[in-house]
Structure 1
Amino acid sequence: MTSKVHLACDGAGRPLGFLLTGGNRNDCTQAEAVIDRIRVAGPGPGRPRTRPDRIVADKGYSARAFRSYLRRRGIKATIPERTDQLAGRRRRRERPCGFDRASYRRRNVVERCFHRLKQWRGIATRYDKRPDRYLAAITLASTLIWLDT
């Protein structure tokens, strides 16, 4: 009945990878799949780039499994920890995760990317009932955002 768009964008607010799931899916469980969908072609020949330099996300993505996934791929993370995670780290006498406040201030770029996508009425109101057609509309709008900038 409902759906959720999981999205990764670059620093300019252009969509890089996205995934459509049911509305009851947690963001953190789909983050790896969204990052795996990122493909950015370079100016010349060769393979497209698939690994971002840094991930900036909110507290919903602060799961230990996601942080270890980012560490394995060599991606820097700017994700604040939830208070229960901080308390657990203090209890286990572990070191807290690094957090860069200056780069975290740029997290609103994702929200602006969603607002640019929702300028399309069909995406904002979900006229298409079939998921494949809705995903096609998101793909078209994302392509036009890339062409516009």
Structure 2
Amino acid sequence: MSRDLVPDDLWTRVAPILPPRPQRRHRYAGRHRTCDRIALAGIIVVLRTGVTWRDVPRQEVGCSGVTAWRRLRDWTEAGFWPRLHAAILAELRAVGLLEMDDCAIDGSHVRALKGGTHTGPSPVDRAGPGSKHHLIAFRNGTPLTVSLTSGNRHDVTQLMPLLDAMPRIRGLRGRPRHRPRRLFADRGYDFDKYRRLIRARGITPKIARRGASHGSGLGKTRWVVERTFAWLHQFKRLRIRYDIRADLHLGFLQLACSIICLRRLRTSF
């Protein structure tokens, strides 16, 4: 089952960039370390199905939920998930499947049942504890970068952090590219201050104006980010936040983005 959860095309991209294994302190250090591929399968089971760590099927996966959680913690703290995402984006660019001229940004609310960092009263859930996913996606819906904030944070507060967090995407000769030409956004980002900041980075802002009638035509390009959120929320662990640690939930988000990018890459085979 672990090979079904972690297919060969995913594992061949994961294995070369995994953090090095910790050195054993003693000659006889107890049980052997669980294979990284099996641990990744346990993480993906939780991501896809939303089960608790204690309910990970050990017999089918090959490891316990505690082992998978520890590996998720270690890899997240080592910054592994952004590296995996950037590596797959570079492959997409190399085969011409990455349209980088246009991108769209938006945010999506999720409930945070257990609280934790980056949670706050959600304006769409009767002030219940919630978090917000922020996302920039390319024109074909390929996720570029994501972030996590509390549910009461305004979308525009993550505009510049997301732009600054864009990875430098290789894949072609020359300088790595990390800036789109145009950025599409809804009325929640309608602030002239941020338009100036976007232009200062060499990006043309395409942001709907508040109070203007509908029918600007921006939705023809901006809708793709909504579809990307739908793809992300097909992973049941991301529909409701159960992780108290914000970095672990963000790690799940980044892993889901990598899987979505890999699905796009498979169309080139």
Same fold (TM over 0.5): yes
Q: How far apart in 1 are the matches of 2:182 and 2:230? A: 22
Instruction: Give yes or no for the alignment of 1:127 onto 2:255.
Output: no
Structure 2 residue aligned with 1:147: 262
Q: How far apart in 1 are the matches of 2:249 and 2:174? A: 31
Structure 2 residue aligned with 1:10: 138
Percent sequence identity over aligned pairs: 39
Instruction: Give 1:50 deviation, angstroms.
Output: 1.6
Structure 2 residue aligned with 1:36: 164
Q: How far apart in 1 are the matches of 2:242 and 2:231? A: 17
Q: How far apart in 2 are the matches of 1:111 and 1:44? A: 29
Q: Any idea what SS the aligned residue of 2:208 has? A: coil
Q: Any idea what SS the aligned residue of 2:239 has? A: helix
Aligned residue pairs: how many?
134
**What are structure 1's unaligned runs of at least 5 residues?**
87-99
TM score, norm. by length of structure 2? 0.47
**What are structure 2's unaligned runs of at least 5 residues?**
1-114, 116-129, 265-269
Query: Mean Cα displacement is larger for which, 17-26 or 108-117?
Result: 17-26
Answer whether contact 1:36 1:50 (CA < 8 A) is retained: no
Structure 2 residue aligned with 1:62: 190
Instruction: Give yes or no for the alignment of 1:110 onto 2:221.
Output: no
- The structure with the largest alpha-carbon Rg is 2
What letter is aligned with 2:248? R
TM score, norm. by length of structure 1? 0.82
Structure 2 residue aligned with 1:22: 150
Computed over aligned residues only, the root mean square deviation of the Cα atoms, in angstroms, reads 1.8
**Cα shift readout 1:17-60 (whole Å, capped 9, x = no counterpart):** 11111111111111000111112523235543121111110000
